[in-house]
Chains A and B, each alone.
Chain A
Amino acid sequence: MYEREEERLSELKSHLEQQTLPLDEADQMILAGITKAKADRSKQKRRRKRVTWMVAMAAILLLTFVTSIRVSTAFANTIAAIPGMEPFVALIQHDKGLQAIFNEDYYQEIGSSQTVGDVTMTIDGVILDETGMNVYYTIESSKKMKTASVNTIEITNSRPMPEAGISYGGMSANDVFSYQEIMELTFPKRNVFSDLNFTIEAEMDIDEKMVAFLIPFEVPEQTKPSKPYVLNEITELDGQHFTIDEVVDSPLRVAVQVTFDPNNTKKILSFEDMRLVDERGEVWSKIANGVTAFGNEKGKTTHTFFLQSNYFSTPKKLYLQINKAQAIKREQAFVEVNTDTKELLTFPDGPQLQLVDADRNGIELSLSVKDFNHDPFTAAMDAQGKEISISSFSLYGEGDATHWSPAFETTSYTNPIRLELNAYPTYIEGDVKVEVK
């Protein structure tokens, strides 16, 4: 029926077959494609490592807490009255803001669940405010779970979700039938959801099998509004100036926005003891677990630091106080390394910093300070100003020293390379007291 068309097509086919092909170049393109694909894959791995790193930090802090803070019985009883919350007593106890949330009934019970095979995931409850969302969930199985961990976890809404820092627990199960976990989203910009229907999409690795959940849930009540106090108060610590722009009090955290004076001789990396104090001397200190600050990007002078919330208390007076900060001389706020000659060219004054080992793939530094558990690097820059991503970072203590080893994503860069420091154990002290209310 269509012989003529078919004939025409076969003519065209023979044209196509007569084409000379660039076969040698084709081989190169295939190899280039494989290299590119592998690079994509290591990028994915890198993201996972970053998450693992956050999880490791959380675990360290959690251990310190469990052994050092006694759980008050009254508070334990409040929590125990909420279904499924007993395991969280320890986690909540160390944060006064979270305690208040439970005492004031701001925690919202959900109870939505889904069963996939032997495993059930239940969204126990949510704390939502303008600065973030904590999701408390339980995983239960009819069989004992030897290992369980989060592969991916995500929350969606009918509107695009705001930008958020996400933290969640790592390995959770160890021969158990059920366990509880928390996923925390922290929004850098305040956000109010117009639609309180969410969906959690999670892939859990349970005993080496992937179990995927998709659970819609509705948060029953709208967020309580944040209370902003605009201060714009210029202050100084040991001659270094900065402005306390504003303090925003929300149920989950207090955000303190600070802008540093670009003319300072020292770069302030973080505040050691920033705290809120009321007229009776009650203190709300730094958040010990989870996201503690935002804004360590290069060249940005405005940073946000988080404190435990005092949203539900009603002090007559409230002050923001700071006495100690990590700071380094502006011209020394980085380390410079030649990874070919294995030389440490520039480093800050203060505790001894040594280059233990170096090659094009990464470096290992030893700092003569015990337990300085900070990740000081975000990226490296080569001699021509090209950014080199850090593919993984490991930290460990050895005797009285702390070892830092960042690994680089690429080996093609021009030495020497420069790594900006976001944490360093040199301090300035002074007395900052700003009236918030």
Chain B
Amino acid sequence: MDELEISRKAIAGDEASFLAMMRQYKEDLLRTALAFLKNEHDALEALQEVTVRAYHKIQTVKEPAYAKTWLIRIMINYCQDQLKRQKRFHHDPAIDSQSTVDDSLLELKEALATLPKKEQQLIYLKYFQDVKIKDIAKIENIPEGTVKSRLHKTLRSLRAYFEDEGGREHV
């Protein structure tokens, strides 16, 4: 069975196909979680929660081709909610950095954290999941031009961030 066929059956309510679909996209989902959350443990928890949410809502997916992106968006939303919560309840930067798997990801997390929620999602889908602008437009139900102008705006904010950071490195 190919990817699309599995997604199509999962949307139709076939449980075995749902499991196959989740397994198929687990790497992408875990990577997404790691781009936002602080450690592996939280990423695994996130995967479980995203499975629960997806199980309840899978019937609402219209196009089997977008099943993967749909799952990734659920994951990003979940991660963003978690980050907001953690901020509210206990923010201890010492613990955060201690438990991070790989420091090389810190920069990514920080860069994303400087952006508003919507823009985090846009950058992530475009540059980390290679979702085409045309598809983002369809999924978000907005014109392609709007996606492009939002991307530009977001890259401009990132430029400011990278330059600032670069400057700091040279000092």
Contact = CB atoms under 8 A, between A and B. Distances in A.
Contacts of A19: 31, 34, 101-102, 105
B163 to A, nearest CB: 9
B51 A30 contact: yes
A26 B30 contact: yes
B48 A23 contact: no
Nearest to B123: A9
B141 interface: no
A2 B47 CA distance: 33
B108 A12 contact: yes
A5 B101 CA distance: 25
A33 B47 CA distance: 8
Interface in A1-36: 1-2, 4-6, 8-10, 12-13, 15-17, 19, 21-23, 25-27, 29-34, 36
Contacts of B26: 23, 26-27, 30
Interface in B22-46: 22-23, 26-27, 30-31, 34-35, 40, 43-45
A30 B30 contact: no
Contact of B102 (A4, A15, A26): A15
A1 B49 CA distance: 39
Contact of B55 (A10, A27, A37): A37
Interface string A351-363: 0000000000000
Contacts, number: 101
A38 B127 CA distance: 35
Contact of B19 (A9, A15, A30, A40): A30
Given A16-B128, A19-B101, A33-B52, A4 B34 contact: no
Contacts of B48: 29-30, 32-33, 36
Contact residues of A: prevailing secondary structure: helix
A9 B47 contact: no
Q: Tell me which of A21, A32, A41 has the highest count of chain B C-beta atoms within 10 A of its own C-beta.
A: A21
Contact residues of B: prevailing secondary structure: helix
Contact of A22 (B44, B55, B107, B111): B44
Contacts of A17: 31
B159 interface: yes
B149 interface: no
B127 A34 contact: no
Contacts of A5: 155, 158-159, 162
Contacts of A16: 31, 34-35, 105, 108, 128
Contacts of A37: 51-52, 55-56
Contact of B47 (A12, A13, A29, A40): A29
A25 to B, nearest CB: 6
A6 B52 CA distance: 34
Nearest to B130: A13
B60 interface: no
Contact of B127 (A1, A13, A41): A13
A1 B154 CA distance: 13
B132 interface: no
Given A5-B158, A33-B52, A26 B128 contact: no
A40 B52 contact: yes
A21 B127 CA distance: 20
Interface of B: 15, 18-19, 22-23, 26-27, 30-31, 34-35, 40, 43-45, 47-52, 55-56, 101-102, 104-105, 107-108, 111, 123, 127-128, 152, 155-156, 158-159, 162
29 contacts: A2-B156, A4-B162, A5-B155, A8-B162, A9-B127, A9-B158, A13-B127, A15-B108, A16-B31, A16-B128, A19-B101, A21-B27, A22-B30, A22-B40, A23-B27, A23-B30, A26-B26, A26-B30, A26-B44, A27-B23, A29-B44, A30-B22, A30-B26, A30-B48, A33-B50, A33-B52, A33-B55, A34-B15, A36-B52
10 A-B pairs with least C-beta separation: A33-B51, A37-B55, A2-B155, A29-B48, A9-B127, A33-B48, A15-B104, A12-B108, A37-B52, A30-B22
